[in-house]
Structure 1
Amino acid sequence: MEKTHAAETPTFGLDLYDEPGHLIRRAHQIAVAMFHEKLGREVTPVQYAVLRMLLECPGLDQVTLAQRVALDTSTTADLAVRLEAKGLIVREVLPRRQRRLLLTPAGEALLTRLIPSVKELRAGLFEGMGEDDAEDLIRLLRKFVHLNNEQSRAPLRVGDE
């Protein structure tokens, strides 16, 4: 049987390491690993986003919260149950079976402790890139998610949209 050398392997005109989807997945994988390394495992990055939104907008109902953090409503409901079980939020029943979510003192204390580490995490994510490249990456990621928002199974909805 004849051996094939790496140089002879067909590439089909594609390089996996230049594919946007692969790079975005890897960037997410790295960001999550760095999140847990810096902040521990008390909360996941998605749980942190939910808690931060509730800090900024106390008393959101679950549907609005889902829209504001770009999650589907069933995922948001599951997250709310988990965060309530951890004592980080309370869910108040509203008319029409909706739930209003509020941070508990423990949730506020956790965020007070985590927010400085999140700022350090941001610096760590961009270490070695330079400030201009970091700003460009954030600007381009914002543009990408804005232009492709409707492709998501849970599009971001903010305000009166």
Structure 2
Amino acid sequence: MPETESTLNDLYEHPGHLLRRAQQISVSIFYDEMGSELTPIQYAVLRNLAAHPGTDQVSLAALTGIDTSTGATVCARLEEKGLLERKVIPTNRRQRALTITGAGEQQLEDMIPGAQRLRRRLLAPLTGPEQLQFMALLTKLVQENNEQSRAPLTPSPNSSR
């Protein structure tokens, strides 16, 4: 057995369990710091839409790393809230180009301080160098295992990811 493995008798030796717990903690801090106007997934979709205006719904879901049915539901909710608009793409009447509204842009702007506090709180147990190392390793873990996801992330052509 490699020295990095154990018998995994303790649940807290399972990386998946720790990642799930970290996600629970992250979501809890998200609502503490960013309020309940948007869910974490709605925030991610809106943030990606702001960076990629005019993107169709399927591509936006892929950029966010969520399945298309979840993407459709999230976009519908954001449209109901007046934070995004859907417009027919003339070359493909079945697709809709999505754009963030002024209210959506303002919502994201208003959430920047909360997002900064969220990051600081979540990473606070780590030293500065540990934070950088953790983010680098977490990014590597996600990127290298991307194809194992039920909704693999499809980075944009102009992205560094």
Same topology, TM > 0.5 = yes
The residue that corresponds to 2:61 in the other structure is 66
Structure 1 unaligned blocks of 5 or more = 1-11
Is 1:81–2:58 an aligned residue pair?
A: no
Out of 132, 135, 139, which is 1:135 matched to?
Answer: 132
Q: Distance in 1 between matches of 2:144 and 2:9?
A: 24
Q: Secondary structure at the match of 2:147?
A: helix
Q: Secondary structure at the match of 2:48?
A: helix
The 5 Å alignment of 1:12-31 reads: 13-31=8-26
Q: Distance in 2 between matches of 1:96 and 1:104?
A: 21
Out of 29, 33, 44, which is 1:49 matched to?
Answer: 44
Is 1:90–2:85 an aligned residue pair?
A: yes
RMSD: 1.2
- Give me the TM-score of the superposition, normalised by structure 2: 0.88
Is 1:124–2:132 an aligned residue pair?
A: no
Structure 2 unaligned blocks of 5 or more = 1-6
Q: Distance in 1 between matches of 2:29 and 2:71?
A: 23
Shift of 1:13: 4.9
- Which entry has the higher C-alpha Rg, 1 or 2? 1
Shift of 1:89: 0.5
Q: Deviations over 1:25-77 (max 9, x none)?
A: 00000000000010111001111011111111111111111111111111101
The residue that corresponds to 2:32 in the other structure is 37
Q: Distance in 2 between matches of 1:13 and 1:154?
A: 28
Q: Does the 8 Å contact 2:8/2:14 carry over to 1?
A: no
Q: Distance in 1 between matches of 2:8 and 2:30?
A: 35
Q: How many residues align?
A: 149
Shift of 1:126: 1.0
